[in-house]
Amino acid sequence: MKTLKIFLLTLSFTALICSLGCKNKIKKLNPALASIDLKRGELLLCNTEQFGELKFSLSCNYETRVTFDLAVALLHSFQYAEAEKAFVKVLDEDPNCPMAYWGVAMSIYHAAWFPPTKEDLIKGSKILKIANDLSMDDKQRDYINAIGAFYADWEISDHKIRAKRFEKKMEQIYTKYPNDIEAAIFYTLALYSTRDRVAKGYENERKAGEILESLFTTNPNHPGIAHYIIHNYDNPVLASKGLETARRYAKIAPSSSHAQHMPSHIFTRLGIWEESIESNLLSASSSRCYTEAAALDGAYFEELHATDYLVYAYLQKGDNENAKKQYNLIKELTSFYPTNITAAIYPITAIPARLALENRNWEQAANLELREIDLKWEQFPWQKAIHHFAKGLGASHTKDFASAEYEIEILKELHQDLIALNDRTKSIQIKQVEIQIKTLQAWLNFIKNDIKKGLQLMQEAVDIERNTSKHPVTPGDVLPAIELLGDMYLEIGKNEEALLAYELNLKEHPNRLNGIYGAAIAAKKIGNHEKAFKYFENVLKLTENSNSDRPEVKEAKVFVRENNQSIQ
């Protein structure tokens, strides 16, 4: 097993050059390649560490093997731009290597993320057309045909159908070559890409996780195995199975900003906020390094993605000061790279919404303003919906009913915009906006004293949420519907129902500050002082070392101090 250690030489504040020991001279470049806009140049990798250990036996010339394996490692950590450049280095050294073309096509596909653009699909198709004319062995042909199944007929075939074709082809390779570790790993990635994105059965995720776990013991430093375990276990049912892997992944591939961030998906699921914060501080720093090295016009998306998770974690610790500090680092950003990625735009509306709503600062929520960016907001209806949801909830609670009704109508329009896209990859987004509409309608009725209608609509929102998976981009719902149902019950004195709602919420959203505090208040009101003490004590444990000014923390301190002796 060969360790891929890449040492970097800093040339200036805008460039880092990776010393790969590869020749720069392009050999016998196929004329057809000249018409394709391939990513070339020195690799911009902001660390002197490593990207994990692997050995992919299908590389071609021996002298390109280190570069090829590095490219595959980058691919496994979703460093797609740098992976493509590394594969092109192999291609330039060995234009007759089919797997170099395969690597470029895989780098464009980015199976776990957003679908490729039209330009990407054209590019991938051209690359594979050249590859298909090369001589190759059966195994290489199988790999080429597998990714080719995704690009075939892209003009007339739905993305989901083509992703399923790729999955079936990778399953055949996995079965045909049982000793090929990479075949197994890329098959699990294909399973993840075709998972049911809405329901909570997690069939593909369980199947992929079982395969990956069987490989991890004998390949403990493989970046793809660890990475895909985390993705497949990023749900409330399976998250605990991914904790050990999460704690190891960042050490396996410390040079990747995405690898630094990914463990926090599991930490967030389990409510382990300190480790989530540590993970994302490193990721955001690494991302800023990449932004400078690549001389990007806008911020690299990983910085915003990491910041969203950072703010969420700090808010659960009651640490408004650090949450705002992290937000201020990205608050003025207006352009992003790449521009079409959900994770870059989502935090722009989610973070200010969280800062207001988690603190129940309804006036602040009602007066949020949509930030101006170098993109058209009409292209991002889901992200825009979060902004209007927060404003609507704020308006209802401040009894500006006309504004609340206005925000509901906007949400309905955005919901229809998402449906009209006819994009099955947006199914979770459609459901989440539906939940937001129901929630706003519920609170508008509730605060206008139609209690029965309000509770009915809020329960409907909870039912939809219960059967809808979390979007992988977000650390969590801006406010969980079931937590808001608990708030409703608490306001009308149905304290036992409130406690049940909060406790159900904490099963899927462990260590949420508002959930724990709500459970403490509900328990106190029904006279269960032992349970109230436990939850108030948890509030204090959650917020220790945060210098929190949250009134919930002050109330918890008073209750624990006054009841400490009687409970013991």
Residue 22, pLDDT score:
37
Residue 245 above 90 pLDDT?
yes
Share of residues in the chain with pLDDT > 90 (%) = 71
Q: For residue 505, what is the domain's CATH number? A: 1.25.40
Q: At what angle do helices 118-132 and 98-109 cross, to 10 degrees?
A: 170
Question: Who has greater pLDDT, 386 or 477?
Answer: 386
Question: Quick check: is 563 in a domain?
Answer: yes
**pLDDT at position 8, please?**
32
Q: Distance between CA 360 and CA 394 in Å, rounded?
A: 9
Token pair, residue 136, equals 């190759």
Mean of pLDDT values over 202-221: 95
In a domain, 544, yes or no: yes
pLDDT score, position 25: 46
Q: Identify whether 191 is part of a domain.
A: no
Nearest partner of 229 among 207, 197, 260, judged by Cα? 207
User: Between residues 7 and 357, which one has the greater pLDDT?
Assistant: 357
| Structural contact between residues 343 and 305, judged by C-beta atoms closer than 8 angstroms | yes
* Residue 12 pLDDT > 50: no
pLDDT reading at 2 higher than 70: no
Given a contact cutoff of 8 angstroms between Cβ atoms, the answer to whether 438 and 415 are in contact is no
In a domain, 506, yes or no: yes
pLDDT of residue 33: 81
φ, ψ at 18 (rounded to 5°):
-85, 125
- Rounded Cα distance, 471 and 461, in Å: 16
CA-based nearest residue to 152, from 135, 128, 172, 119: 128
- Residue 340 is predicted with a pLDDT of 62
Highest mean pLDDT pick, 10-19, 115-124, 516-525? 516-525
The predicted model gives 476-480 an average pLDDT of 92
Paired residues of 8 in beta bridges? 18
Q: What is the pLDDT of residues 19-59, one digit of tens each?
A: 333 344 445 566 778 789 999 988 877 654 577 888 887 76
> For all residues of the chain together, what is the average pLDDT?
89
Q: What local confidence, expressed as pLDDT, does residue 10 receive?
A: 28
547 domain-assigned: yes
Q: 517-520: list long-range contacts, CB under 8 Å, 24+ apart.
A: 517/552, 517/555, 517/556, 518/483, 518/486, 518/487, 518/490, 519/486, 520/556, 520/559
d(CA 15, CA 28): 29
Which of these ranges, 28-37, 91-100, 264-273, 491-500, has the smallest mean pLDDT? Answer: 28-37
Total number of domains in the chain: 1
Judge whether 542 lies within some domain. yes
Better-scored residue on pLDDT, 14 or 398: 398
Candidate from 34-48, 125-139, 287-301, 395-409 with smallest mean pLDDT: 34-48
The answer to whether position 540 is within a domain reads: yes
528 in a structural domain:
yes
Peptide bond into 338 cis (omega under 30): yes
pLDDT in tens, 153-167: 999 998 889 999 999
DSSP per-residue letters across 135-146: ---HHHHHHHHH
* Residue 534 belongs to domain spanning: 491-568
**pLDDT band with cut points at 50, 70 and 90 for residue 568:** low
Most confident of 371-375, 378-382, 455-459, 563-567: 455-459
> What stretches of 421-477 show up as alpha helix (H) in DSSP?
427-447, 451-466
